[in-house]
Amino acid sequence: MKNTVLTFAKAKEEGTKLTMLTAYDYSTAKLINDSGINSILVGDSLGNVMLGYEDTISVTMEDMIHHAKAVAKGAPDALVVVDMPFMSYQTSVYDAVVNAGRLMKEGRANAVKLEGGTTVAPAIKAIVDAGIPVCAHIGLTPQSINAFGGNRVQGKSEAAAKQLIEDALAVEAAGAFAVVIEAVPKKLADLITKKLSIPTIGIGAGEGCDGQVLVYQDMLGMFSDFTPKFVKRFANVGEVMRAAFKQYDEEVKNGSFPAVEHTYAIDDDIIEKLY
């Protein structure tokens, strides 16, 4: 059954946990969808894990639409949330609505996600008013990496913690159906989760959040450029892939692949006539 914003609201009400994983292509989306994960995030982390950029700054609307379309085809049940890339919503509320609309119409998103708190609340409200569900994202917001001076835990000081609470309340008041909280001390995320009536989706924010999200290459051990403290490796798929690639290389070079069962037959009398 399709997960919707109502699934998220019900989970918060009933205290059941929500799951979200990133995906950027059809095949992975199908695997995640079929595992019963509630939501797939087409994150702008695709800049890091799919395109090899050092951050998410260069990711474009075209990149997001291209990957969102593929994921949407493979995710009939999971709620597909698509990230709004850097500068697709910060420039004006008008741009925010137009670009959110493109992710829905062209990317076939079920919802969009954008980074920020009080400052982006007017954009969230306008997008929600246009009939587009919005997931907010506060705490460590990777599009602001240059303003933060690096990827660092957020909300540690009293002032920063108060600001994060204000941000959370602002995005809720603006109509967000959920909020991702990234790299925030567990006790602060717990407090925000208690204060909000919308679900909190944690990444590096402890188990007290209403749900969790991870980048799938991180949790499968497929990406090693950098690994944040909050990542748990659930499998070492990167090692399995490396071993398989190595074996393929060896078998092709020593002639053991392809074997007879991987080839197509033709009648010998036809072949003989061709010599």
The catalytic residue positions are 182
59 belongs to the binding site for ligand KIV (CB under 6 A): no
CA-wise closest residue to 167 among 146, 144, 151, 149? 144
22 belongs to the binding site for ligand KIV (CB under 6 A): yes
Dist. CA 67–CA 50, nearest whole Å: 10
Task: Report the residue from 19, 38, 39, 45 that binds ligand KIV according to the rule CB under 6 A.
Answer: 45
190 belongs to the binding site for ligand KIV (CB under 6 A): no
Dist. CA 47–CA 55, nearest whole Å: 7
Dist. CA 218–CA 232, nearest whole Å: 8
CB atoms within 10 A of CB 145: 17
Interface residues for ligand KIV in 141-180 (CB under 6 A)?
180
Do the beta carbons of residue 80 and residue 71 sit within 8 Å?
yes
115-144 mask for ligand KIV (x: CB under 6 A)?
Answer: ----------------------x-------
44 belongs to the binding site for ligand KIV (CB under 6 A): yes
Which region, judged by CB under 6 A, interacts with ligand KIV, from 37-45, 71-79, 87-95, 160-168? 37-45
Residues that bind ligand KIV (rule: CB under 6 A) add up to a total of 12
215 belongs to the binding site for ligand KIV (CB under 6 A): yes
Shorter beta-carbon distance to ligand KIV: residue 212 or 250: 212
* Location of structure tokens 């969102």: 68
Task: Report the residue from 19, 33, 40, 43 that binds ligand KIV according to the rule CB under 6 A.
Answer: 43
Shorter beta-carbon distance to ligand KIV: residue 41 or 78: 41
Shorter beta-carbon distance to ligand KIV: residue 132 or 136: 136
